[in-house]
Structure 1
Amino acid sequence: MAEHLVGVHAVEEWLVADPSRIEALLVEPGATPRVMKLVDLARKAGISVRTVPGPAMAKIAGPRNSQGVAAEVKPFPYLSSEGLERIVAAATTPLILAVDGVTDPQNLGAILRSAAFFGVDAVVLPQDRSAPISPVVERTAAGGVARVPIHQAGSFVSCIDQLKAAGLRCVVSVVGGSRPVDQAAMAGPSVLVVGSEGQGVRPSVRKLADDRVMLASGKLDSLNVATFTGIFLYEAARQRGLGSDVAHGTQETISP
């Protein structure tokens, strides 16, 4: 069964970032000007454009609002281990986000949206304890999935260990961490690790931590993981000199 992305923004991000993933653009009759812009982009990229009746589009979209457009796409292109190594080597001060045990697709999508906004170089997900990149994740991320390379690690622990060996400092969020987020050093090459509200970061990864952080209130467990990740990434961005851009809204935004 074909996989579909639904909605203007999710489709637009892939048309701009990597149109080769899109096999066909599906539009309802009477397309809006915004959808017609996507039609123009698709045709310029040599992508087939098909008109789909409203009931058929509703079936594709399910409970989601299609906004009159969908895309038939290839499976999500995860970043390879070699690709992750190249990104780390090429970045002056790499910032990697590792997400452990987040199985709710909407939480994962919100995390990826923050990762894109704050300029994370790549995201690492485990194969064994994570929601996969799905249309729900992509829709929630509002285009963030197309902007940030995502690596799915066969061994999450080994991947973190290799990032440390490459010179990245491992900062792990835990309940009862040793210091508040704003006191952790994240201006240099870093891998930030967050875990689900329930189980948190797995013990084998916590053992690799160079620093263990919490919110100043000490109530990490009371926060949604996506909310905490946004705070975590904001602090890393602030330390890297991006804080004023983000705080004043001058950095490019991601809108649904």
Structure 2
Amino acid sequence: MAGNDKRRGGMRKSNKKGMVVGSGGQRRRGLRGKGPTPKAEDRVSHPAKRRADARAKAEQQRAKRQAAAESQPELVCGRNPVVECIRAGVPASGLFVAQGIDIDDRVTEAVREAKSRGISVVDVPRVELDRMTNNAMHQGLALQVPQFKYAHPEDVLQAARDSGLPPLIVALDGVTDPRNLGAVIRSAAAFGAHGVIVPQRRSAGITAVAWRTSAGTAAKLPVAKAVNLTRTLKDLKSEGLMVIGLDADSDVTSDELELATGPLVVVVGSEGRGLSRLVRETCDQTVSIPMAAGVESLNASVAAGVVLSEVARRRRIR
């Protein structure tokens, strides 16, 4: 009979308030706790959620742009840098020669060596080469090279050990000018260093400018990226290397560098702020370069060259 259905879930017509048969215990469920309130970023319609999604999308787009940029080749410009890169065996894919340029020994060697190594040689109008190099000083020659492949800091240490000589590694702290990076790499190779370590963030990378300044030596010397430079320096210390930092305010000069003949890491800071606090605290010793009065500081690459030259001298006469 309607209204007298005893089935579970059946509804009874009534004007009375309160629970009726078949309510399913809604009152009991209403008394249960619903757990902690979700974070604002986890609520679908909350403004914080929309902002977090926008940040995540922007980060993904930035990562895609960076990946695309890293896949693009670089152009090394200038006759001497191009010749040095080809001599060093840089894995180039193309040599661009401006039409109508004056031919000298460097151009002849670059074209001859490029052809012998299977590098395509392309004649282009000078205006086109100007456009390709963004009006850089190319002197009629440009070499297309792939993006640089960095080593791991452990690879640099292993290369030093395989040499049979006391390890000598150069680390850069906050050097953001690729010209300085290229010059440091060139000095490191000239004075017998086994590798260079740069931080992953806030540091110059091996771009075409760095290739050009290094004159191809970046292909001969391993260059590694450190996720955390301070931690990497501590790891090297645990492997028996001493860490010295270049600091203009140090009372110890490079002339007094007694650590030069042993396993060593030379840390070079930026021209502006020098060594960062954590890196300075990690160093076993800081050294300065003796200079004439009235001169504040040297360029980072020049300072690195001076100290590495002193290290090489002491190692020769030990």
| Matched position secondary structure for 2:316 | coil
Distance 1:62 1:90 in 2: 42
Distance 1:188 1:82 in 2: 18
Unpaired segments ≥5 residues, structure 1: 244-256
| Corresponding residue of 1:80 | 152
| Corresponding residue of 2:175 | 102
Unpaired segments ≥5 residues, structure 2: 1-71
Deviations 1:96-135 (A, max 9, x none): 1111101122222332232222222111111112111111
Scaled by the length of structure 1, what TM-score is found?
0.85
| Corresponding residue of 2:53 | none
- Structure 1 residue 219: Cα displacement: 8.2
Matches within 5 A, 1:197-236: 197-217=271-291, 221-236=296-311
Distance 2:305 2:157 in 1: 25
Check 1:141–1:63 CA distance in 2 against 1; reply closer, same or farther (3 A cut): farther
Deviations 1:133-156 (A, max 9, x none): 111222223333233221111111
Matches within 5 A, 1:1-256: 1-19=72-90, 21-30=91-100, 32=103, 33-91=105-163, 92-185=165-258, 186-217=260-291, 221-241=296-316
Contact 2:86 2:216 in 1 (8 A): no
Distance 1:221 1:145 in 2: 30
- Structure 1 residue 216: Cα displacement: 3.2
| Matched position secondary structure for 2:93 | strand
Distance 1:73 1:88 in 2: 27
- Structure 1 residue 10: Cα displacement: 2.1
- Structure 1 residue 222: Cα displacement: 2.5
- Structure 1 residue 183: Cα displacement: 0.6
| Corresponding residue of 1:254 | none
Contact 2:153 2:197 in 1 (8 A): no
Identity among equivalent positions (%) equals 36
Contact 1:115 1:144 in 2 (8 A): no
Deviations 1:191-234 (A, max 9, x none): 11110122211222222222111123598853222222121111
| Corresponding residue of 1:248 | none
Distance 2:279 2:295 in 1: 18
Check 1:172–1:81 CA distance in 2 against 1; reply closer, same or farther (3 A cut): closer
Amino acid at match of 1:149: P
Task: Using the TM superposition, name which of 216-225 and 118-127 deviates more.
Answer: 216-225
Contact 1:157 1:205 in 2 (8 A): yes
| Matched position secondary structure for 1:128 | coil
| Matched position secondary structure for 1:236 | helix
Contact 2:171 2:268 in 1 (8 A): yes
Contact 1:197 1:221 in 2 (8 A): no
Deviations 1:10-61 (A, max 9, x none): 2223323234x21111112346242122222122222222111111112223
Distance 1:30 1:146 in 2: 30
Check 1:123–1:63 CA distance in 2 against 1; reply closer, same or farther (3 A cut): same
Contact 2:241 2:263 in 1 (8 A): yes
The structure with higher relative contact order (CA 8 Å, sep 6+) is: 1
Q: Aligned pairs, how many?
A: 242
Distance 1:3 1:102 in 2: 21
Check 1:216–1:81 CA distance in 2 against 1; reply closer, same or farther (3 A cut): closer
Distance 1:170 1:220 in 2: 26
Distance 1:208 1:220 in 2: 27
Amino acid at match of 2:88: A
Scaled by the length of structure 2, what TM-score is found?
0.69
